[in-house]
């Protein structure tokens, strides 16, 4: 097993790539009661066109299959539902689908191995029939309609649709009622057999474990499967620039919601750029920023907006989301502040102070077994070792921040999405 150590955090991760191609990450936490396991596949909502290893022709499936599969995995041939089985054991279990991965997880203090039995059993034993697939379409259809009624979801999705011409990140993770109507058991088995191969998966366990012992327990529960070759993922060509700079939707809200999106280009320096953007966003609209205080004092915004940077190997964007009496004023004020900083440079003391605050946030994530495990899983699928954020933050200087501000925070790539009455 490879030992990866971070001396600043006094944290260790043991990494093992098994013969079947699956990666196991073990994060030992002595004297911790909680135990957490998350098993993920590098398969999310973006993957609807791909070439199966060993085949020549591309396979195209309806939008929403990854999420549909996640729902169906709990249903077992003996009539049980694995989520119910895990809940009856007294463990907290769940699953989720993102744009680039799907994950199955549980957290517990005892009955760990019984829960591990169930998790590793249901993820390796799909059971799809014409009847249970049809039934699920109704359930997911209701979920789609419910989300359509959420202003917070609409303002987010409208932002992505305004930024992206063709990339599937603009589409709802669940698909639409129309796209899921084309899903059948053959499609589900094809996607399962392609993407749920161990060589496309990673399992992360965090808690009071002896690495060698827990690794053997995981291996014992794996079905014999051989690693497959690389899955070729096919995405449509995405042109530069955004579709439109403004989108508005009328819904019942007490105060207008807004999301400012900034379309970016993925960087080779993923971690360094991510840190720089976090610092810049806090300088621009963080709680202690001049602009936030001004907008707050004028009664335009009443709380700090959420500040995010989402990225994978093939897309990247900034999202600033909040409530405002006048979202257009927030948008214009942000553009003016960006122009001012580009012209006058970044204040070194402020840059350093915010960097320390962000570093503190990174360290805090390691206090919780669930946050730690989920972070390592999500970063792994991005080709990142989570410790890199701790190691690289010192290298992020104001000069680099200014370079990122100039390249990324471009007016032409900014969109404003608003939901108001």
- Tokens representing 160 are 């992505």
pLDDT at 106: 97
62: Cα within 13 Å, side-chain hemisphere: 21
pLDDT at 160: 97
- Please list the active-site residues: 70
CATH label, 246-420, candidates 3.30.70.1290, 3.40.50.720, 3.10.20.30, 3.30.830.10:
3.30.830.10
What are the extents of the domains in the chain? Answer: 2-233, 246-420
pLDDT at 282: 97
Q: pTM, whole model, 2 decimals? A: 0.93
State the 10-residue block means of pLDDT for the chain, 421 residues long: 94 96 96 95 96 94 96 93 95 96 96 96 96 93 91 96 96 93 96 96 97 97 92 94 97 96 95 97 96 97 95 95 97 97 96 96 94 97 96 96 97 97 92
Helices (H), 89-176: 112-124, 130-148, 151-163
Contact 81, 157 (CB under 8 A): no
Torsion of CA 65, 69, 71, 74, to 10 degrees: 170
Q: Top-level CATH class of 2-233?
A: alpha beta
pLDDT at 31: 87
Strands 232-233, 23-28: pairing is unpaired
Burial of 329 (0-12, 13-18, 19+ CB in 10 A): middle
**129-159 per-position pLDDT tens digit:** 999 999 999 999 999 999 889 999 999 999 9
Q: Do domains 2-233 and 246-420 have the same CATH topology?
A: yes
Could you tell me what percentage of the chain is helix, strand and coil, using 3-state DSSP and rounding each to the nearest 5?
45, 20, 35
């Amino acid at each position: 097993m490879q030992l990866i150590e971070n001396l600043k955090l006094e944290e260790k991760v043991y990494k093992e790539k098994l013969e079947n191609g699956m990666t196991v990450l073990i994060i030992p936490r002595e004297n911790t009661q909680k135990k957490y396991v998350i098993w993920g596949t590098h398969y999310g909502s973006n993957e609807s066109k791909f070439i199966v290893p060993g085949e020549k022709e591309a396979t195209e499936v309806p939008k929403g299959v990854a999420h549909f599969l996640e729902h169906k995995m709990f249903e077992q041939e003996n009539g049980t539902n694995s989520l119910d089985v895990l809940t009856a054991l007294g463990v907290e279990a769940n699953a989720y689908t993102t744009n680039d991965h799907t994950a199955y997880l549980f957290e517990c203090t005892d009955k760990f191995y019984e829960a591990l039995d169930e998790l590793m059993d249901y993820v390796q034993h799909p059971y799809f029939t014409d009847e249970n697939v049809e039934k699920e379409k109704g359930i997911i259809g209701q979920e789609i309609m419910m989300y359509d009624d959420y202003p917070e979801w609409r303002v987010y999705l409208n932002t992505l649709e305004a930024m992206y011409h063709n990339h599937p990140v603009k589409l709802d993770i669940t698909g639409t009622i129309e796209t899921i109507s084309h899903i059948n058991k053959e499609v589900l088995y094809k996607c399962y057999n392609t993407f749920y191969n161990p060589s496309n998966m990673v399992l992360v366990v965090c808690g009071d474990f002896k690495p060698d012992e827990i690794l053997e327990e995981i291996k014992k529960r794996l079905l014999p499967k051989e690693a497959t070759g690389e899955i070729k993922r096919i995405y449509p060509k995405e042109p530069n620039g955004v579709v439109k700079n403004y989108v508005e939707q009328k819904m019942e809200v007490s105060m207008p919601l807004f999301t400012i999106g900034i379309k970016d280009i993925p960087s080779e320096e993923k971690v360094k750029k991510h840190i720089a953007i976090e610092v810049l966003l806090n300088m621009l609209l963080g709680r202690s920023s001049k602009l936030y205080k001004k907008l707050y004092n004028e009664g335009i915004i009443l709380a700090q907006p959420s500040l995010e940077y989402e990225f994978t190997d093939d897309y990247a964007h900034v999202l600033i989301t909040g409530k405002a009496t006048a979202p257009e004023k927030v948008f214009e004020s942000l553009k003016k502040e960006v122009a001012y900083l580009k012209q006058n440079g970044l204040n070194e003391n402020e840059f350093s102070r915010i960097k320390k605050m962000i570093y503190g946030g990174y360290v805090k994530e390691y206090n919780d077994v669930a946050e730690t495990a989920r972070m390592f899983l999500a970063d792994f699928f991005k080709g990142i070792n989570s410790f890199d954020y701790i190691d690289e933050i010192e290298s992020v200087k104001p000069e680099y921040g200014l370079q990122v501000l100039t390249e990324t925070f471009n007016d032409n790539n900014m969109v404003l999405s608003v939901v108001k009455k």
